[in-house]
Structure 1
Amino acid sequence: MIAGLVIIFFVFAGFYADILWFDQLGFLSVLTTQWLAGGVLFLIGFVAMAVPVWVSIQIAYRLRPVYAKLNSQLDRYQQVIEPLRRLAMYGIPALLGLFAGVAAATRWQVVLMWLNRTETGRIDPQFKLDISFYLFELPFFHSVLGFASAVVFISALVAAATSYLYGSIRVSGREVLVSKAARVQIAVTAALYLLLQAVSIWLDQYSTLTNTNDLITGAGYTDVNATIPGRAILAGIAAIVAILFILTAVIGRWRLPIVGTALLIVSSLLLGSLYPWVVQRFQVVPSAKTLEEPYIQRNIDLTRDAYDVADVEEIPYNATTTAEPGALRADAETTANIRILDPALVSDAFSQLEQFKQYYQFPQNLDVDRYPIDGKSQDTVVTVRDLNLAGLNAGNTWVNSTVVYTHGYGVVAAYGNQRSAAGQPVFLESGIPTTGSLPDYEPRIYFGETSPPYSIVGAPKDSKPVELDYPSGTDGAQQTYTTFDGDGGPKLDNAFNKLIYALKFQSEQIFLANAVNEKSQILYDRDPVTRVQKVAPYLTLDSDAYPSIVDGKVKWIVDGYTTSADYPYSTSVGLSDAIADTETPPQPFALDNINYMRNSVKATVDAYDGKVTLYAWDDEDPLLKTWQKIFPTTVKPMSEMSGDLMSHVRYPADMFKVQRRVLGKYHVTDPGSFYSVDDAWTTPNDPVSPSTNTTLQPPYYLTMQVPGQEKPAFSLYSTFIPDASGATSRNVLTGYLAVDADAGSTDGKRAEGYGKLRLLNLPEDVTVPGPGQVQAKFNADPTVSQQLNLLKQGQSKVLNGNLLTVPVGGGLLYVQPVYVQSTGETSYPLLQKVLVAFGDQIAFEDTLDKALDVLFGGDSGASAGDTDVPPSETPVEGEAPAEGGTTPTTSTGDPATDAQIRSLLAEAKLAVTEKQAALTTGDFAAYGVADKKLNDAIAKLLVLLDQ
């Protein structure tokens, strides 16, 4: 008894904690709707199973022959079962009801979507039904029929077993004797089952539109002319056989339903298998290209519609492979914005330069965003400084990990197209406390991708803050402390709530610690994707949440998708497989094989207080409209997005990956060519991944001007090569897919071009090398190899960065940063060289500007913007004093000015040395002083050089 009460209380604690969490976040209706729907369906499922089974047992028992002569074996069975009869008569239905109730409760989404269904306004080409029938109604009908069939089948089994046990059914030699009552019960039950099968077979006609055959998804020639009519006939036969069973219940003859059942089985073999095979083998196969043409066209049209690629703009692109002088003049802005900083390689550099303490960390792959700098949009590599409690080592006590180290601190951002003279990132936002060119914002990161499982905040002990804010302070203090003053989690303001969470997290400290008081809040489920998934369980979320400074706060932006596997005539895509590449490992999804996808929701999570906000991004999506009916008021209209947020929303990578997978095959819109599979494409493997790794090259965000655009825009692109279907593929470019990824500007208006897909079709008579060919040529070039060997001196290793492909100069330009990393424990990659390729020509220089000049004959016509540091920090000829290096010199023609310049350069060099020493010793006060000296020296130099 006590053990049972303890178990019940543990279960209750979990439910109550969920109530507190959802209520604090303002999404309690999401939880209660799920519980209410699940509870109602559990009761329906329980009653729908338990009652018919109980009635079936009762009828069979009560109408048993009283004086039936049983054999000795059955007599012994009765003697064993009779003492347990009452328990069994109620226990068996109840147990089956429990299983049925749980199964029914798991289908709450299907039921609620059917009850709140929304028409799409588009009809299917076969049955002329609104596509909402396939999205909402058909899955519901199949679920109901499957459940009802199971109930009737199990009822028939228990009725037959009870009848046999109590003599209503007897076997005498070869003869089976059935009492009248048992005959009526079994015949009526069988009739009900067959009627259900008749309806199910009838609905199977519509399922052909989502079934996959050898050629397409959807009903082909054989389905339309053989399978669908055959299923309609079979449904009629099943209904007739059901009537025969009813007749048997009246007249007592089994011959007619037995013959009818045999006819149904034979008919199913003939109409369901043999006839479609004959049509396919002898009519379709010899003339498949012509007979299947209209059905292939249906598949092409509806697949492109389902993945939102129907309006892709296809542009013939006669790419040249010869670099001509001045060819880049028209693409000056694009080349100036080419990102040379690889977000997948510079994490270690960020860690060494900006981590500061071992209890901070950066993710392995950083994010790409854009910010207005000096009136222009600047691509940046950005991340947040999050907590790493493992770095506390012996100091990782409960108090430290729960009460003291509660949050990360600050955004760190670097120019995407610049580097320092030493090859380091050039930061436009950095330091603790944070300084830089980005707008002022709340820097504390209480909700991040690597935040602790839970923290207790908001409760200063004796009015003294205990949460470590950052590792420096004023007046000689080593640390600065703070107290969380937001509303970020359930309150621990009473003993009951403390007990609930002590049980949830299996920690008695939550209940006993004096650091927990009436002002305390507990923060958990802090990963932004986890928070969005809990409040919007109907969404499939993008694998990459990224942080942006929005309206004075750090907000995680998460893309949400509505997906379905029931869109007619649309080809299925494995979502986990489609998004996997060298930067995104395969991951499980609740619904993996999909054939419909929309980026319907943009979500934000406040990094300070964890507030989740959902915005309806695609308000025409029928799935989202349906879910908005189910969870009203949880999704805000897009019009409520601030302009600042709109300027950071981007086209999601996972959606783009699925679309590129679809367009690899479905860029072909001619049914004949599609059938011949003579122009199928695929995404190339990432040339910088290990040779044994066949993961795909990820898409990349770049600011560029694609043919068809009026001006450069923040974009996402990917390339295509021929699909060899298992054979060795020719690594030449056949297509280039780009999408306008910039959602809008600070005025709050959605950009007209956002989401516009452009597909550049490259000519077949011109061989444009693909990424694999370019990388191979780069690796084999003797001049490049010689320079790489020099870079590898001292056991340093060379790391190839992302190989970017940019449509400029009438062709396709490849750009790849090359990093060098020493073998020391505290080493990190330094950007030392840039590879550029155009056609068969390559250049390998210290900067992108120099490489383009070499490639285009010294007259590229454009400045690539690959300066060593930002202009505001460039004292002389585009280079800052390198740490440990020499100070660059210049001459203005004025000896006095030259002397001032040399003096200021010496001061700058000394300041750099002092900064490095302060960083090594962890003296952040000295670091700040040295940093100010360096900035003052640079500012004075700029004044002199501008004179």
Structure 2
Amino acid sequence: MFLGSIFTSVWTDRLWFKSVDYSGVFTTVLVTRTVLFVVMGVLFGAFVVGNVYLAWRLRPSGLPARNDDPAARYRQTLGPIIRPVLIVLGVVLTAFAGSVAASHWDTYQMWAHGTSFGQKDPQFHKDIGFYVFDYPWLRFLTSFSFAMIVIAVLATVFMHYVFGGIRFAGRGPSFTRAAQVHLSILIGIGVLLRALSYWLDRFGLAVGSSSLFDGIGYTDAHARIPARNILIGIAIVCALLLFAAAVIRSWVLPAISLGLLLLTSILIGGIWPFVMQSFQVKPSEPDKEGPYIARNIEATRDAYGVADTKVEQYTAKTSLTPSELTKSAESRVSTRLLDPTLIAPAFEQLQQVRGYYTVQDTLDVDRYKLDGTNQPQDIIIAAREINLDGLQDSQRNWANDHTVYTHGYGVIAARGNKRGSQGEPVWVEKDIPPVGDLKLTTPPRIYFGEKTPSYSIVGQPKGKAPVEVDIPRGGESGDDPKANATQNTYDGKGGVPIGNVFNKLLYTFKFAEPNIFLSSRVNSSSKILYDRQPRDRVKKVAPWLTVDGDTYPAVVDGRVVWIVDAYTTSNSYPYSQHSSLREATDDTLTQGQSQAALPTDQVNYMRNSVKAVVDAYDGTVKLYQWDTKDPVLKTWMKVFPDVVTPKSEIKQSLMEHLRYPVDLFKVQRYILREYHVTDAQTFYEGGERWKVPEDPAGSSSSLQPPYYLTVARPGETDPKFSLTTVYLPNSRQNLASFVSVNSEATSSDYGTMQILQLPSDTQLDGPSQIANRFSSDKGVTQALLQFRQSDAQVLNGNLLTLPVGDGLLYVQPVYIRRSAAEGTYPVLQFVAATFGEDVGFGQTLDEALRVALGLEPGSAPTDDSGAAPPPSSGDDTGDSKAKTTSQYLADASKAYNDAQDALKKGDLATYQSKINQMNDLIEKAQDALKK
């Protein structure tokens, strides 16, 4: 059964890789693992068993059977069965060691095909490729060999003891000549391996971690590395003395040398560095560690791809003139208001069509050229996927789950910056069959997606009626799925043929499902589709890549495809700071979700080297080279030739939908909290460290995610699709900086990261403070009161930060969900905005911003200077001195009545403006009363 399960797993993997045209990957990995298993496992097992057998052959003859000898009982037991015991021991050790070695197939391949980085580390002057490719494999070989020696020594000592080569009598153990020679040679080899380990330890310091920074520090350079050099020499001398013990009949010199090695490792390897660190480095740590901190900063910024980040001092002003407001209209018009985390229920309820379709809980942001223009616009897009949980209980059976409801259909897309008259999305692609602007030219069936069933069996012979539900029509009809839909038969090239008896049996065992073998639905034309999630397919065909957690659908050349960003990573880049991918990418959107798992969670080098595309219909996987300079990718392209397609072959139609990956940006954001500082002294002091703000709309411990937005950065005239985030000072809540990276793959400065750093004395509110201001503003509170008092639910959307007019604008969409009953969904009703001190609230961003700036809704500049007219305060004469307290209160009352009239009409902009006037007039009335 065990061997059968292994065969089933391997053979079905072979069939799967063949179906996606990646047989070379399967063969390379299988051959490498097999060779390592056999060679390393047999070497380990043969070495240990050979030494045990040698100890048995060297046993002294004619040992007397003494009752007080505890070894006699073992001797009597093992003697008759020694050969079977040795065979079993050899098999067990071979299997164990071979499995360990096979799991390091990728480490071996990187060592065998390593590529030069063209950069040398500042301490040992070795190419960085030595640390990334050579060091891990050499370290594994050393550890593997040392473990082999240790087990061999222990097993040999036991065998010599049992069969009389070692006896305990008098003051200590006594050895036969054969046992002494045997053990001295074994231990000598082990000490030589320890010398090799000391040599590697020096390089390990360059990729090691410490409490202050990663890499070699002052104590490492001046104590630990010299100590390792001394220990190498002592270990070699000790090994030579042990070998000499094979000639001379004395353990004195070897014992002295081993004691000297142990004592030296404690004094020189432990105490000396401790004393230097405590009494020489700590009192002057900034000065001593300064040059090494500088190395760490430079290496870390290089390793994470943030060395070219542009940091600009930015004094964000908090007011705009009407002229500036008009000039900034283009960037504001393109601002995405639909929140991908809240709008999914609206997509489902309005475009689900049938209960067995669904979309992801968090939708995706992409951009398309609409309305015949060349300017891409932000849209929210989702694939309409199959959802078996949406079927009625009476419809749930094996045939329906795996042969009838096999695929989703089409995509749903809405404009990111517009809302319908009732707050609903404005569609650019909808319905089944699809209607819209995305130009789907082929049947957009979704057989491969993020919510597809574990497996489906598809395909029918010619002339046989199709059974797969395809395009829904008419009304629901209960138990009969065919009554309300047309049927289709899959004709794509994806999937594994299971028409023959052998393949049926294989997949019957693989999925533990006898219906696969017994059902008449499985015929000579059948294929089985499995491993259908795009991320899983990419990880399977390229196991050396780390896959981004955010996969998104796109319409490219009329077909629906999934775009997957993939990374090459390492944890052996010298001097670079290690970080946890899971910790760095954790935010509101990933709470409770399983993120991309790394070969090791700790990395200190990361590149977005591959853009992968998975066809939603036939599951075809295409890997495109993206980072043409990455040595790690070049190494893997040597291991798997012809697997990665050159970047030059990416079509323009696909290039338009590629974007800067979100997980890479999160990791870079995590690193730049500290490493935006490039001065070693400032870095050590830690006063300029930043933090990522908590998400005002999430739980108290979740971080605000980055947002894809189309914005015009300062100094740029055209808005660009960007990935954005903000930072706070480490112990405060006001804003420290705004960060954006150009996410347009077709742009010449794609990937250029810009940090707009605010002066330390600037008190511009951060996201939590802005959210608090929105929730406590009188105008906003009164406008939402009617909803909160009813059964409606008020949902705050993502809080966006936008650079506008040399300042920073905060925008938050507000959604209303009428009730928690089935079939309801959030609708975008209002927009809150602030630019400076005042809050604006309206049904559009333009209305909200004008109110926030104290401008009448729809007002425009009236003079050439562009100066803003003074905000209306209800004072028609303009002579504030002529008014009394009672007149101010009368005007305030009128403004309040006007506000209530506007609220009844649904004119939120006028309502907010009048409320602000009322508040100003009340303050003036108070001032007049004091006078």
The CA deviation at 1:152 is 1.2
Indicate the residue corresponding to 1:42 in structure 2.
37
1:705 and 2:712 equivalent?
A: yes
One-letter amino acid of the counterpart of residue 735, structure 1? S
The CA deviation at 1:861 is 9.9
| Same amino acid, percent of matched pairs | 45
In 2, Cα distance between the equivalents of 1:159 and 1:406? Answer: 61
Q: Deviation per CA, 1:220-247, whole angstroms, max 9, x where unpaired?
A: 1111001111111111111111111111
Q: 1:550 to 1:419 in 2, by over 3 A?
A: same
The partner residue of 2:359 within 355, 358, 362 is 362
Deviates more, 1:149-158 or 1:679-688: 149-158
Indicate the residue corresponding to 1:22 in structure 2.
17
Indicate the residue corresponding to 2:735 in structure 1.
733
1:762 and 2:758 equivalent?
A: yes
Q: Kindly report which structure 2 residues correspond to 1:872-891, keeping only aligned pairs within 5 A, or say none.
A: none
Number of aligned positions between the proteins? 848
1:721 and 2:728 equivalent?
A: yes
1:245 and 2:245 equivalent?
A: no
One-letter amino acid of the counterpart of residue 714, structure 2? P
The CA deviation at 1:764 is 1.6
Q: Deviation per CA, 1:849-894, whole angstroms, max 9, x where unpaired?
A: 211221234389999xxxxxxxxxxxxxxxxxxxxx9999xxxxxx
Mapped contact 1:664–1:682 kept (Cα < 8 A): yes
Indicate the residue corresponding to 1:910 in structure 2.
none
In 1, Cα distance between the equivalents of 2:88 and 2:406? Answer: 52
Indicate the residue corresponding to 1:899 in structure 2.
none
Q: Kindly report which structure 2 residues correspond to 1:205-354, keeping only aligned pairs within 5 A, or say none.
A: 205-354=202-351
Q: Deviation per CA, 1:806-859, whole angstroms, max 9, x where unpaired?
A: 011211100100011122221111111100011222111122121122123438
Indicate the residue corresponding to 1:463 in structure 2.
464
Mapped contact 1:333–1:704 kept (Cα < 8 A): no
What SS class does the counterpart of residue 843 from structure 1 fall into?
Answer: strand
The CA deviation at 1:292 is 0.9
The CA deviation at 1:350 is 0.7
Indicate the residue corresponding to 1:90 in structure 2.
87
In 1, Cα distance between the equivalents of 2:506 and 2:528? Answer: 12
Mapped contact 1:327–1:810 kept (Cα < 8 A): no
One-letter amino acid of the counterpart of residue 325, structure 1? P
The CA deviation at 1:75 is 2.3
Indicate the residue corresponding to 1:818 in structure 2.
814
In 1, Cα distance between the equivalents of 2:768 and 2:906? Answer: 40
In 2, Cα distance between the equivalents of 1:363 and 1:820? Answer: 21
The partner residue of 1:753 within 729, 749, 759 is 749
What SS class does the counterpart of residue 604 from structure 1 fall into?
Answer: strand
Indicate the residue corresponding to 1:871 in structure 2.
none
The CA deviation at 1:70 is 5.5
The partner residue of 2:745 within 738, 743, 746 is 743
1:595 and 2:608 equivalent?
A: no
Indicate the residue corresponding to 1:836 in structure 2.
833
One-letter amino acid of the counterpart of residue 762, structure 2? V
Mapped contact 1:332–1:862 kept (Cα < 8 A): no
The partner residue of 2:77 within 72, 77, 80 is 80
Mapped contact 2:319–2:853 kept (Cα < 8 A): no
One-letter amino acid of the counterpart of residue 471, structure 1? P
In 1, Cα distance between the equivalents of 2:906 and 2:88? Answer: 89
One-letter amino acid of the counterpart of residue 468, structure 1? V
The CA deviation at 1:7 is 4.6
What SS class does the counterpart of residue 381 from structure 1 fall into?
Answer: strand
Mapped contact 1:70–1:167 kept (Cα < 8 A): no
In 2, Cα distance between the equivalents of 1:708 and 1:596? Answer: 31
What SS class does the counterpart of residue 610 from structure 1 fall into?
Answer: coil
In 1, Cα distance between the equivalents of 2:174 and 2:498? Answer: 71
Indicate the residue corresponding to 1:67 in structure 2.
62
Indicate the residue corresponding to 1:942 in structure 2.
none
In 2, Cα distance between the equivalents of 1:887 and 1:858? Answer: 19
1:654 and 2:663 equivalent?
A: yes
Mapped contact 2:335–2:709 kept (Cα < 8 A): yes
1:806 and 2:806 equivalent?
A: no
One-letter amino acid of the counterpart of residue 767, structure 1? Q
1:791 and 2:809 equivalent?
A: no
In 2, Cα distance between the equivalents of 1:792 and 1:75? Answer: 87
Q: Deviation per CA, 1:198-222, whole angstroms, max 9, x where unpaired?
A: 0101110011111112211011111
In 2, Cα distance between the equivalents of 1:142 and 1:589? Answer: 20
Mapped contact 2:8–2:510 kept (Cα < 8 A): yes
Q: Kindly report which structure 2 residues correspond to 1:359-438, keeping only aligned pairs within 5 A, or say none.
A: 359-374=356-371, 375=373, 376-393=375-392, 394-438=394-438
Mapped contact 2:841–2:852 kept (Cα < 8 A): no
1:150 and 2:147 equivalent?
A: yes
What SS class does the counterpart of residue 589 from structure 2 fall into?
Answer: coil
One-letter amino acid of the counterpart of residue 742, structure 1? E
Indicate the residue corresponding to 1:921 in structure 2.
none
Indicate the residue corresponding to 1:451 in structure 2.
452
The CA deviation at 1:467 is 1.3
Q: Deviation per CA, 1:415-464, whole angstroms, max 9, x where unpaired?
A: 00000110111111001111011112331101110101111112158432
What SS class does the counterpart of residue 590 from structure 2 fall into?
Answer: coil
In 2, Cα distance between the equivalents of 1:71 and 1:321? Answer: 97
In 2, Cα distance between the equivalents of 1:523 and 1:502? Answer: 14
What SS class does the counterpart of residue 561 from structure 1 fall into?
Answer: strand
Q: Kindly report which structure 2 residues correspond to 1:901-912, keeping only aligned pairs within 5 A, or say none.
A: none
Q: Kindly report which structure 2 residues correspond to 1:483-562, keeping only aligned pairs within 5 A, or say none.
A: 483-562=489-568
The CA deviation at 1:477 is 7.8
Indicate the residue corresponding to 1:913 in structure 2.
none
Q: With the length of structure 1 as denominator, give the TM-score of the two structures.
A: 0.87
Q: Kindly report which structure 2 residues correspond to 1:114-133, keeping only aligned pairs within 5 A, or say none.
A: 114-133=111-130
Mapped contact 2:847–2:857 kept (Cα < 8 A): no
In 1, Cα distance between the equivalents of 2:51 and 2:504? Answer: 50
Q: Deviation per CA, 1:128-176, whole angstroms, max 9, x where unpaired?
A: 0000000011111110011111111111111111111111111112132
One-letter amino acid of the counterpart of residue 709, structure 1? E
Indicate the residue corresponding to 2:473 in structure 1.
472
Q: 1:473 to 1:796 in 2, by over 3 A?
A: closer
Indicate the residue corresponding to 2:573 in structure 1.
567
The CA deviation at 1:710 is 4.5
Q: 1:795 to 1:473 in 2, by over 3 A?
A: closer
Mapped contact 1:331–1:862 kept (Cα < 8 A): no
Mapped contact 1:700–1:716 kept (Cα < 8 A): yes
Q: Deviation per CA, 1:477-526, whole angstroms, max 9, x where unpaired?
A: 84222221111101122122122212212222222222222221111111
In 2, Cα distance between the equivalents of 1:435 and 1:86? Answer: 76
Indicate the residue corresponding to 2:4 in structure 1.
9
One-letter amino acid of the counterpart of residue 569, structure 1? Y
One-letter amino acid of the counterpart of residue 672, structure 1? Q
Q: Kindly report which structure 2 residues correspond to 1:176-187, keeping only aligned pairs within 5 A, or say none.
A: 176-187=173-184
One-letter amino acid of the counterpart of residue 303, structure 2? A
Calculate the aligned-residue CA RMSD, in Å.
1.9
Q: Deviation per CA, 1:625-647, whole angstroms, max 9, x where unpaired?
A: 11111111111001111111000
The CA deviation at 1:363 is 1.0
The CA deviation at 1:556 is 0.2
The partner residue of 1:33 within 28, 31, 39 is 28
In 2, Cα distance between the equivalents of 1:819 and 1:763? Answer: 35
In 2, Cα distance between the equivalents of 1:412 and 1:14? Answer: 37
